[in-house]
Amino acid sequence: MKNSQNLKSWLKDYNLNHPMVIAGPCSAETEAQMLDAAFQLKDSDTSIFRAGIWKPRTRPGNFEGVGAIGLKWLQTVKQETGLQTTTEVANANHVELALEHDVDVLWIGARTTVNPFMVQELANALAGVDIPVLVKNPVNPDLALWLGAVERLYNSNIRKLGVIHRGFSSYEKSKYRNKPEWQIPIELQNQFPDLPLFVDPSHIGGRRDLILELCQKALDLNYDGMMIETHPTPDQAWSDAEQQVTPDRLKEILKSLVVRDPQIEGVKYINELEKLRTKIDGFDDTLLRVLGERMTTVEDIGRLKKSQNVAVLQNARWHEILKKMVDLGEKENLSAEFVTKIFQAIHQESINHQEQIMNQK
Ligand code: PEP
Ligand code: MN
């Protein structure tokens, strides 16, 4: 796959003067729920109606989707509202059924993108099919795996391609359900500027109050569109209730978003600046998280020292660390003076933490 191919051209078929909007419930639940959502979305900027028919759930015992009957409801939505439709496919059988039911766009879910066997099965089943296929990022932060899935489809002659950024799972707690790790889609954009990029703020945020800010951020980074879970009665949803919005709220969100024309010179500058700032924010976040973890370990050492009645300050160890870090810093183009200052500050903070532990009764 080359970065010069005109992979964005299929977006022009939609003739939009705004980013593309894909909206609809997390899961198809009943025909009435689907039609209710779709009729409310019909007069919004939504072009494509989404609904999950087969739901990949992390643990068994949750609602796993209505199955093929939902495809009939998607057909009805299309007939009655004129909206295009999309659903998630995870194996060759899903592809066959979805195509039989005239689904217009398919997406591959995050739990499928991680598995090259499944992606290859899908690529084979889709060979030569002329509808757009969108690939969600894998659950783990691995750009090569994400691009690998896109390449498997490309090698099956699928040319209407796009990617959906839905965030990455992590063991640490964060305000997001799936951490955005913006630097990954930014790197993807750098490598393949022509690959349509969508944001899925619903699965990144996991909370409906984060959707607007996530969409705005994506637009500031020049994304091509968004997929937003929208349900007539979100709190009663059978899956992902906390992150879904009502169609009215979706319309408000779309109205509040600021869309800038990427052709304008000043906007290019804002875009570029936003990308670089996002990278910096990611680094700062990592720096502080790692420092926090380091301090937790320092405290463990403090407790160990206390149990053996050993002094907090151990000069030989400290000088050894400092020397190692100054050498490493040199390789990273960081001056000895700067590295020394940073490590003196870290060391002082560590001593403070350990002394607190020593002095605890
Ligand atoms: C979904 O879109 O409802 C879904 C299951 O998403 P993901 O594959 O991103 O978890
Ligand atoms: Mn969902």
Residues 211 and 286 in one domain: no
Residue 346, domain CATH: 1.20.59.10
How large a percentage of the chain has pLDDT more than 90? 81
Q: Are residues 235 and 112 in the same domain?
A: yes
3-state SS track over the chain: CCCCCCCCHHHHCCCCCCCEEEEECCECCCHHHHHHHHHHHCCCCEEEEECECCCCCCCCCCCCCCCCHHHHHHHHHHHHHCCEEEEECCCHHHHHHHHHCCCCEEEECHHHHCCHHHHHHHHHHHCCCCCCEEEECCCCCCHHHHHHHHHHHHHCCCCCEEEEECCECCCCCCCCCCECCCHHHHHHHHHCCCCCEEECHHHHHCCHHHHHHHHHHHHHCCCCEEEEEECCCHHHCCCCHHHCECHHHHHHHHHHCCCCCCCCHHHHHHHHHHHHHHHHHHHHHHHHHHHHHHHHHHHHHHHHHHHHCCCCCCHHHHHHHHHHHHHHHHHCCCCHHHHHHHHHHHHHHHHHHHHHHHHCC
Q: What's the pLDDT at 168?
A: 97
- Which residues on adjacent β-strands are paired with residue 199? 165, 226
Query: Are both 162 and 229 inside the same structural domain?
Result: yes
* Ligand 2 midpoint to CA 56 (Å): 9
Domain termination site, one of 207, 226, 256:
256
Ligand 1 nearest-atom number relative to CA 26: 3
Q: What is the pTM of this model?
A: 0.87
Residue nearest to atom 3 of ligand 1 (CA): 26
| Ligand 1 centre distance from Cα of residue 203 (Å) | 7
Residue from 203, 230, 231 to probe ligand 1 pocket by mutation (most atoms less than 8 Å from CB): 203
Ion ligand 2, residues whose Cβ is below 5 A away: 26, 240
Return the best residue to mutate from 136, 140, 229 for the ligand 1 pocket (most ligand atoms within 8 A of CB).
136
Instruction: Give the β-pairing of 46-50 and 161-165.
Output: unpaired
> What is the domain extent for residue 275?
267-358
Residue 1 lies in a domain: no
Domain contains 4: no
Q: Is residue 101 part of a domain?
A: yes
Are 90 and 125 part of one and the same domain? yes
- The whole-number pLDDT of residue 181 equals 94
Tell me the two tokens of residue 80: 């009655």
Q: Are residues 277 and 175 in the same domain?
A: no
Quote the ligand 2 centre to 212 CA distance (angstroms): 17
Mean of the per-residue pLDDT values for the chain?
A: 94
Q: What do you get for the CA distance between the two ends of the chain, in Å?
A: 64
- Relative to the CA of 137, which ligand 1 atom is closest? 9
Question: With 70 as the cut, is the pLDDT of residue 5 above it?
Answer: no
CB atoms within 10 A of CB 98: 25
Same domain, 202 and 73: yes
pLDDT at site 3: 66
d(CA 198, CA 237): 24
Residues 150 and 121 in one domain: yes
pLDDT score for 349:
95
Ligand 1 atom closest to residue 56's alpha carbon, by position in its atom list: 5
pLDDT over threshold 70, residue 231 = yes
Residue 50 CA, closest ligand 1 atom number: 2
Q: Is 172 in the same domain as 276?
A: no
Q: Which ligand is nearest to the CA of 178?
A: 1
Nearest CA to ligand 1 atom 10: 110
Distance from the CA of 110 to the center of ligand 1, in angstroms? 6
Condensed to tens digits (0 to 9), the pLDDT of residues 313-343 reads 778 888 999 999 999 999 999 999 999 999 9
The residue contributing the CA closest to ligand 1 atom 6 is: 109
Question: Among 256, 284, 315, which residue terminates a domain?
Answer: 256
Whether residue 46 has pLDDT greater than 70: yes
Domains contained in the chain, number? 2
Whether residues 290 and 246 share a domain: the answer is no
- Which of 145, 198, 200, 227 for a ligand 1 pocket mutation test, highest count of atoms within 8 Å of Cβ? 200
Residue 136, domain member (yes or no): yes
- Average pLDDT in the 212-220 region? 97
Q: Please check whether residues 247 and 273 belong to one and the same domain.
A: no
If you search the block for the tokens 């659950």, which residue do you land on? Answer: 139
Residue 97: Cβ within 10 Å count: 17
> What are the pLDDT digits (tens) for 79-107?
999 999 999 999 999 999 999 999 999 99
- Given a cut of 80, whether residue 2 has pLDDT beyond it is no
Position 198 in a domain? yes
Residue 199: φ, ψ to 5° = -110, 145
Which residues, at least 6 apart from 198, have a Cβ–Cβ distance to it below 8 Å?
A: 20, 22, 134, 162, 163, 164, 165, 223, 224, 225, 226, 227
Q: Is residue 343 part of a domain?
A: yes
Q: Residue 264: which pLDDT band, with cuts at 50, 70 and 90?
A: confident
129-161, pLDDT tens digit by residue?
999 999 999 999 999 999 999 999 999 999 999
Q: Does some domain include residue 2?
A: no
* 181 and 64, same domain (yes or no): yes
Report in angstroms the alpha-carbon separations of 23 from 46, 88, 334.
Answer: 6, 13, 48
> Which ligand lies nearest the alpha carbon of 243?
2
Q: Quick check: is 54 in a domain?
A: yes
Give the pLDDT score at 4: 59
Pocket of ligand 1 (CB under 6 A): 26, 52, 56, 109-111, 136, 166, 203
Instruction: Convert the pLDDT of each residue in 164-176 to its tens digit.
Output: 999 999 887 789 9
Residue nearest to atom 9 of ligand 1 (CA): 110
* Local confidence band at 262 (pLDDT 50, 70, 90 cut-offs): confident
Nearest alpha carbon, ligand 1 atom 1: 26
Q: Which of 236, 256, 276 is the last residue of a domain?
A: 256
At 57 the pLDDT is 83
Q: Of 222-231, 286-295, 312-321, which gets the smallest average pLDDT?
A: 312-321
CB atoms within 10 A of CB 335: 11
- Identify whether residues 296 and 197 lie together within a single domain: no
CATH for 193: 3.20.20.70
Q: How far apart are CA 335 and CA 269, in angstroms?
A: 31
